[in-house]
Structure 1
């Protein structure tokens, strides 16, 4: 059950575009996302923060990381981001030489179940459409999969070989 101070409805939450000044909140959400989803150790999470923070900061400054934060009482309680990266085109979108990848979707536990993640993902989808992307990619956590499926995301034929 959420604390009494937590807003009861998603409407009390304001969504805004993230800036480089929001780096600490984005990195905090990324850390908590991996802690909650994978049960990653503090040592692994600390190492990830050291490398992720400068990467995300550079992306925000250079314009290839686009983020949104859900704000409650002036504090970021949820967030999502899209990274744009170079990728060879394919027959479905021969003019497209970049991909848009949705990541860092996280809502603090006290604010879950209010549609905040859905609102953030909707913002990301709208942004990707406005910017001419033919698809939006993501890696879905088990908890996030129902939300993404309900928004039209489908499993793909990708596979992975874990090298270490």
Structure 2
């Protein structure tokens, strides 16, 4: 764990070299959520998820459709998160079709409660503001809700999701 007198490690934009850590964090995020929900955790499903996320990153980090951030402590990625930039529909309060979806925020358990997720979230909102993206969406776990609310996110009651069988 970081000592109080150590300088804070910076949040930096992820590079292709960080993809393995990003994909592992994505998998571990779902693993933790499912365990807390007492859902069965299938290692094969998680391995496929990790591979699929790595493939997404390989394509979308290059194209700019996905931007990710990491906290690197002495060569170890201890926290990460990303946005995917999408085309959606204009709405009365934002005529731009460009939106971002914040996802895959994860911090290694021994590095939690040091505001790393909050700093990554702020990096994402700052990036969106600089790019003129006014709408940033996310699905939050119960544990993450406090971090996002501290950063100005608000729950929306009129959202539904349909999963194809």
- TM-score of the aligned structures, taking structure 2 as reference length: 0.90
Query: 1:30 aligned to 18, 26, 33, which one?
Result: 26
Over the aligned positions, Cα root-mean-square deviation in angstroms equals: 1.5
CA shift, 1:130, in A, is: 0.8
Give the structure 2 partner of residue 144 of structure 1. Answer: 144
CA shift, 1:11, in A, is: 4.3
Give the structure 1 partner of residue 12 of structure 2. Answer: 16
Alignment check: 8 A CA contact 2:23 2:51 kept: no
CA–CA distance in structure 1, aligned partners of residues 63 and 163 of structure 2: 30
CA shift, 1:85, in A, is: 1.1
Aligned length: 158
Moved more, 43-52 or 68-77: 43-52
CA–CA distance in structure 2, aligned partners of residues 126 and 110 of structure 1: 27
- Stretches of structure 1 lacking an aligned partner (at least 5 in a row): 1-5
CA–CA distance in structure 2, aligned partners of residues 51 and 119 of structure 1: 26
Alignment check: 8 A CA contact 1:8 1:114 kept: no
Give the structure 2 partner of residue 133 of structure 1. Answer: 133
CA–CA distance in structure 2, aligned partners of residues 36 and 74 of structure 1: 24
- TM-score of the aligned structures, taking structure 1 as reference length: 0.90
**Structure 1 residues 137 and 11: CA distance shift in structure 2, 3 A:** farther
Moved over 6 A (4+): none
1:15-66 alpha-carbon deviations (Å, 9 max, x no partner): 1110112110110110110111123321110111222211111010111110
CA–CA distance in structure 2, aligned partners of residues 84 and 57 of structure 1: 15
CA–CA distance in structure 1, aligned partners of residues 42 and 146 of structure 2: 26
CA shift, 1:146, in A, is: 1.0
CA–CA distance in structure 2, aligned partners of residues 35 and 132 of structure 1: 34
Give the structure 2 partner of residue 63 of structure 1. Answer: 64
1:124 and 2:120 matched: no
| Secondary structure of 1:12's aligned partner | coil
Give the structure 2 partner of residue 48 of structure 1. Answer: 49
Moved more, 107-116 or 12-21: 12-21
CA–CA distance in structure 1, aligned partners of residues 64 and 115 of structure 2: 27
CA–CA distance in structure 2, aligned partners of residues 12 and 153 of structure 1: 25
1:108-134 alpha-carbon deviations (Å, 9 max, x no partner): 000001111111111111011111111
